[in-house]
Homo-oligomer: A and B are copies of this chain.
Amino acid sequence: MTNPRVVRAREAMATRGIDRLLLSVGPDMPYLIGYEAMALERLTMLIVDHENDPVLVIPELETPRVEPGSVDIIPWGEVDDPIDLVVARCKPGETIALGDHTWARFVLALQDRVEAEWVPSSPVMTELRIRKDPEELDLLRSAAQAADQVADRLATLTFSGMSERQLSRWIDDAVVEEGSDAPGFSLVASGPNGASPHHDSGDRVMEPGDVVVCDFGGLVGGYPADTTRTFVIGEPGAEQTGVHALVLSAVEAATAAVGPGVAAEEIDGIARTVITEGGFGEYFIHRTGHGIGREGHEEPYIVEGNDTPLEPTMCFSIEPGIYLPDRFGVRIEDIVTVTDDGVEVFNTSDRSLRIVG
């Protein structure tokens, strides 16, 4: 077994007294072996221990999806019980780490059949995933670049008369046209909907005077972009301009503070102080950012209480926002990475309040 990520996973397991790692849906499996399980009711499970080569228990009909030679597979047929195949490889009394996104139905079925100490995989997998290798940094850069092209194209569109959902579909198509392998997500929150940070793009038709938050990104090689720019339909009012400028100041101050050794929560505190001193602290209702990599949201979280010191190659979002209920919202989001002596910002599209039709 020469897969270096598996070697590192075993080292991290050993440090924590973990005998076995069972991974299913979610980012850990593709991170380790390049194969992503389908999020369906047929169990796919990667088994990693200290003695044997990793094996992948997989529905027989999905075996053609696995790159030949990339991992040993144990296919199961439609009338087999995949839990049997996993249980047969576990030993009573072991400490077994379960992939964070594994479905409860499989967790409970395994617990029912194996007397073990069950722990989450996240400490092991976060240790591996929180720092990125050069290939991962390139994928995140490429994904950001495609999203930035879309952000700049957005500024040339006429939003007025389009529904949020239509614009969201346009963005999904555009990120693929600009080089993403697949659309990831696209949130369009217009007018009062902008005050909902996780608004679902809906049927609201945009109109002059709307501030419009567009938060989106496609995937490149399994790695996501995630950027937010805020637009206004027609000339902005003074408050819209002022709120946007304040959020932009918070982004700039937080970004400038990024560097090795700085605690994640310090970055949050800096963005929050700018917005609070500007008089809008109570309307900045979420953390400043989240790590990004094989998973759209991962460690390090840029939030009060997280004293993790930033290290080179960690990647995360800086995305302060101000949300005025029933009125409008503004958010600006970049993905950044920590360098040896500071920060590299992956997103370079225009951050100003862009005026659209």
Residues of A within 8 A of B (CB): 38, 40-41, 60-62, 64-65, 77-79, 98-105, 107-109, 111, 118-122, 165, 169, 173, 176, 181-182, 195-200, 285-287, 290, 296-298, 303-305
Contacts and interface: CB of A to CB of B under 8 A. Distances in A.
Contacts of A41: 290, 297-298
Given A64-B199, A78-B286, A79-B303, A100 B107 contact: no
B105 A103 contact: no
Nearest to A77: B285
Given A103-B102, A104-B98, A285 B60 contact: yes
Contacts of A196: 61, 64-65
A200 B64 CA distance: 10
Contact of A198 (B62, B118, B200, B287): B62
Contacts of A78: 285-287, 303-304
A161 B41 CA distance: 35
Contacts of A176: 169
A285 B109 CA distance: 25
A103, A111, A290: residue with the most chain B Cβ atoms closer than 10 Å: A103
A173 B285 CA distance: 34
A64, A98, A181, A303: residue with the most chain B Cβ atoms closer than 10 Å: A64
Given A64-B196, A169-B176, A286-B61, A104 B108 contact: no
A252 B69 CA distance: 39
Given A60-B285, A78-B287, A40 B297 contact: yes
Contacts of A101: 103-105
20 contacts: A41-B290, A61-B198, A61-B285, A61-B286, A62-B198, A64-B199, A65-B198, A78-B285, A79-B305, A98-B104, A100-B104, A102-B104, A104-B107, A108-B118, A108-B119, A108-B120, A111-B118, A165-B181, A165-B182, A173-B173
